[in-house]
A and B are shown apart, each in its own frame.
Chain A
C-alpha cells in the first residue's frame, strides 16, 4: 500500500496531514487499542489492507484474531457481526461495495436494523458496517452506486457519509462507540487512493489522538449568503470547487455537508436556507425517492415561503451508472452540472 502520508503538522496544532483512508484507519486502530471487543472483518481486509485501503496496516498491528479475512459470504459474515454485537462485541464489518447489498440485505435491514426494535429495546446491536460507494472511474453499473438513500430509507440504522479526512476519523470513532448499527459509507473518490483521481482535499489535517465527530451534525463546509448547496461525500468537494469559482463573480455559495443521512440534521438545512432563501441539493445517488427529495421536503414541510426560487436538484437521473467515461460523467453530479444549477437558483 502506498498511501500518501505527509507528516507536516499544522503550526502549533497536534494534527497530521492524512488521506481520508489513513484517517479512517487511525480511528479504527485507536478504538481497537482502547477496546478489545472491536474486531474488523470482511473480504480482503487482512493482508491486502482493504481494496480501498480501509484497513491498511491493521493486520500487522492487531493480528489475524482481530482483523479477519472472510470468505465471499456476505450474508454469513454480516450475520456473524450481528450475533457478535448482540453478545457484547463491537465488530466492524466491511461490505466491499455498497452495490453488493443485494446478496446480504436481509441480514442488514431485517436483522441488524430491526433487532433492537423487535426486542423492545432489550437487545442492542453495536456494530459498524463499512462500505465503499460512488463512481467516476468507469467501474460500471454494479460497482459505482452510492445507495445511501436506500439504507437511509430503512429504519433502524444510522447512515454516515464522511467527505474528508478529519470527519472520516471522527465519525468512525463515533460509529464504533455508538450502541446502534451504523452504516459507514466511504466514497472511493475521497479516500486519497494513489490509483484513482482524487480531489486535493482528500489529504488534509487530522487531529491526533481521540477525535470524535458526533453523528447527526451537519457541517458548514463554506459559508455563503446567496444560495445553499446541501450535499454529502465527494459532491461536497465539487460544490466547494464551484463555490470558489463563483465567488469571483460575487455569487456567495454556502456549502452544507450533511455528514450523515440518519440522523438528518434538518435544523442545519433550515438554518442555512433561512439565510440564503435558495437551495441546490447535490446527490450522487439516484434522483427519485431519495436524499434530494428528503432535503427539499424538510424545507417545504417547515415553510415553503423560505424559498425565493425553485429548488435545483443535481443527482444521478434514475439510470444505472454507465460504463463509458463520457456517459458516466454525463450522469454524475460533476462540477459543471452543479455550477449550472447554482446559477439557475440565483437567477431563477
Chain B
C-alpha cells in the first residue's frame, strides 16, 4: 500500500500497515450513523405501543428485538470491502450488517413491521432477513449462520468468480460446534470466507470470561491454520484494515481468515432486558463508538458541525422514509399464511 497517495486527513490504520484515506474514513462514519439512526427509529417504534406495562407481543413491531447499537464499527469496517455480489450471513442481531452491506431500507423496515412489502412478505421478521439482491441472510440460531456461508463461498469459487462470503457470529457462538466445523471445513477446502466474531462481551447475561476458555478467538484461528486477528477497542479503522487483508486473501483464492472485534452492546440483549447482570451499566454510554469516532475525524479536519449535521439529516431522511413506507404498507392476508412453504 506504500504507493497510495496520502490525502489530507488520511491515516495509516492498524500500526501503519494499511492506508485509509479521508473519504473512506468519512464513509465509515456515515455508515455507522445510518446504522444507528435506523436502530434508534426501530427502538422508538418498538416501544411506542407496548404498554400499558411491556407486552412483547404487542404493537406494530411485535416479538423479540435485538438492536445493534454499539456494534456499528464491525459492520462499517467489514462491509466497506464488499459489494452486493458478496454474501453476508449475520446473526439474530443483524440490522447494522444488513444496512452496511447495502440492503434496501424500505423492504427491510417493512419486514420488521411484518408487512407484505417486506423482504420475506412478513414471514421472516427481524431475525430472518433474506435478500437475494445483496446475498444477505441471517439466522436466529447462534453460530448456525456460519455453515451456509461456506456453501455460498463454495458456489462462488466454482463459478470462477472472486466473490466471497462473510460469516458473522457473536463471541458466544465461538464455543459451538457449528463454529468449529465451519472454520475447519472452509480451511480444508480453501473457501473464500471471512469469519467475523463480534465480541460484545455478553452472551445475553453470561460474560465472555465465564464462558470462553481463550482470551482471543484469533487463537482458535491458529488451531485451523488460518490467519486470525483480534481488534481491541471497537476500532472501526483497525477493523477496516483487518477486513481488507482478510477479504483480499479470500478473493485471491488463498482461503478463509478470522477476525474478532471487541465491540460493544450499547443496549440490552433484547428490548425489555433490564441488564441487572451488567455491573458497569452506567458507564456503557460513555463507550459509544460513534461520538468517539466523530471526535477523531473532527480532530483530523474531516468533519465539522455542518458535516455532522448533514450526515445525521441524510440518515434520518432515509430511515424515516423506510419507516413510513413500512407503516403504510399492507399487512399480509391471513388467508395466505400457509403460502411459500414450497416453491
In the assembled complex, the Cα of A124 lies from the Cα of B156 at a distance in Å of 17
Does chain A have a CB within 8 A of B222?
A: no
Tell me the minimal C-beta distance from B117 to chain A in angstroms: 10
A263 vs chain B, min Cβ distance (A): 8
The reply on B152 being an interface residue by CB < 8 A is yes
| Contact of B148 with A83 in the complex, beta carbons under 8 Å | yes
**Chain B residues, CB < 8 A from A115:** 130, 137
Stretch among B36-44, B174-182, B272-280, B284-292 lining the A interface: B174-182
Residue pair A71, B148 in contact (C-beta under 8 Å): no
Evaluate whether A80 and B340 lie within 8 angstroms (CB atoms) in the complex, with A119-B123, A120-B124 already known.
Answer: no
Interchain CB contact under 8 A, B158 and A79: no
Chain B residues near A88 (CB, 8 Å)? 155
When C-beta atoms are compared, the residue in chain A nearest to B138 turns out to be: A118
CB of B35 within 8 Å of the partner chain: no
A118 to B156, CA, bound (A): 23
On whether the beta carbons of B151 and A84 are closer than 8 Å, the reply is yes
The contact string, 1 if C-beta is below 8 Å from chain A, for chain B 319-343, is: 0000000000000000000011111
Inside 8 A of A151's CB, which chain B residues have their CB? Answer: none
Binds A, one of B14-22, B139-147, B297-305: B139-147
Nearest CB in chain B: distance from A42 CB, A: 13
Known: A83-B153, A87-B152, A119-B130. A76 touches B342 (CB 8 A): no
Contact between A79 and B124, CB atoms less than 8 A apart: no
Question: Does B118 make an interface contact (CB < 8 A)?
Answer: yes
Interface string of A40-84 (1 = CB under 8 A from B): 000000000000000000000000010000110101111111111
Interface residues of B in 299-313 (CB under 8 A from A): none
- The verdict on B228 contacting chain A, using a C-beta distance below 8 Å, is no
Please indicate the chain B residues that have their CB under 8 angstroms from the CB of A179 in the complex. Answer: 343
Q: Evaluate whether A116 and B141 lie within 8 angstroms (CB atoms) in the complex, with A83-B149, A107-B147 already known.
A: no
Are A75 and B178 within 8 A (Cβ)?
Answer: yes
User: Which residue from B118, B144, B182 sits with its C-beta under 8 Å from A110?
Assistant: B144
Query: A81 to B151, Cβ gap below 8 A?
Result: yes
Count contacts on A: residues with CB < 8 A to the other chain: 42
Residue of B nearest to A126 (CB): B343
Q: How far is the CB of A110 from chain B (nearest CB, A)?
A: 6
A75 cross-chain contacts in B, Cβ below 8 A = 144, 147, 177-178, 181-182
B230: CB under 8 A from chain A?
A: no
Counting chain B residues whose Cβ lies within 8 A of the other chain, the interface size class is 35 or more
> Which one, B124, B153, B342, contacts A180 given CB within 8 A?
B342
B94 close to chain A: CB less than 8 A: no
The majority secondary structure among interface residues of chain B is: mixed
With A75-B147, A111-B139 as contacts: A122 and B130 at CB distance below 8 Å: yes
Given contacts A79-B151, A111-B144, A115-B130, A87 and B124 within 8 Å (CB-CB): no
Among A86, A91, A114, max chain B CB count under 10 A is at: A86
Asked if A76 and B340 sit within 8 Å, CB to CB, the answer is: no
Which of A82, A117, A122, A126 sits near B147, CB closer than 8 Å?
Answer: A82
User: B139 touching A120 by the CB < 8 A rule?
Assistant: no
B165 within 8 A of A: yes
B128 CB-CB contact with A under 8 Å? yes
Question: Chain A 294-329 against B: per-residue CB contact (8 Å), 1 yes, 0 no?
Answer: 000000000000000000000000000000000000
Q: Which residue of A lies closest to B140 (CB)?
A: A110
Q: How far is the CB of B304 from chain A (nearest CB, A)?
A: 42
- CB interface residues, A 81-101, toward B, < 8 Å: 81-89, 91
Q: Is B168 an interface residue (CB 8 A)?
A: no
Bound-complex Cα distance A115 to B123 (A): 10
- The verdict on B154 contacting chain A, using a C-beta distance below 8 Å, is yes
CA distance A71 to B151 in the complex (A): 15
Check B172 for interface membership: any CB of A closer than 8 A. no
B118 to chain A: closest residue by CB: A120
Q: Would you call B152 and A86 a contact (CB within 8 A)?
A: yes
> Is the CB–CB distance between B178 and A79 below 8 Å?
yes
A87 near B141 with CB under 8 A, answer: no
**B87-144, CB < 8 A from A:** 87, 89, 118-124, 128, 130-132, 135, 137, 139, 141, 144
A244: chain B residues within 8 A (beta carbon):
none
A112 closest partner in B (C-beta): B148
Residue of B nearest to A76 (CB): B181
| A210 within 8 A of partner (CB) | no
Instruction: Report the separation of the CA atoms of residues A82 and B185 in the bound assembly, to the nearest whole angstrom.
Output: 15
Residue numbers in B under 8 Å from A155 (CB-CB): 341
A156 at the interface (CB under 8 A from B): yes
B144 and A76 contact, CB distance less than 8 A: no
Measured between beta carbons, the chain B residues less than 8 angstroms from A89 are: 151, 154-155, 158
The 5 closest A-B pairs by CB, nearest first: A79-B147, A83-B151, A120-B121, A76-B181, A87-B155
20 example contacts (A-B, Cβ-Cβ < 8 A) are as follows A71-B188, A75-B144, A76-B181, A76-B182, A80-B150, A83-B147, A83-B165, A84-B151, A86-B148, A86-B151, A87-B135, A89-B158, A103-B177, A107-B147, A110-B141, A111-B141, A111-B147, A120-B124, A121-B340, A122-B130
Interface residues of A (CB under 8 A from B): 65, 70-71, 73, 75-89, 91, 103, 106-107, 110-111, 114-124, 126, 155-156, 158, 179-180
Known pairs A75-B144, A83-B147, A84-B155. 8 more at Cβ < 8 A?
Answer: A73-B185, A79-B146, A84-B152, A88-B155, A111-B139, A117-B123, A117-B341, A119-B123
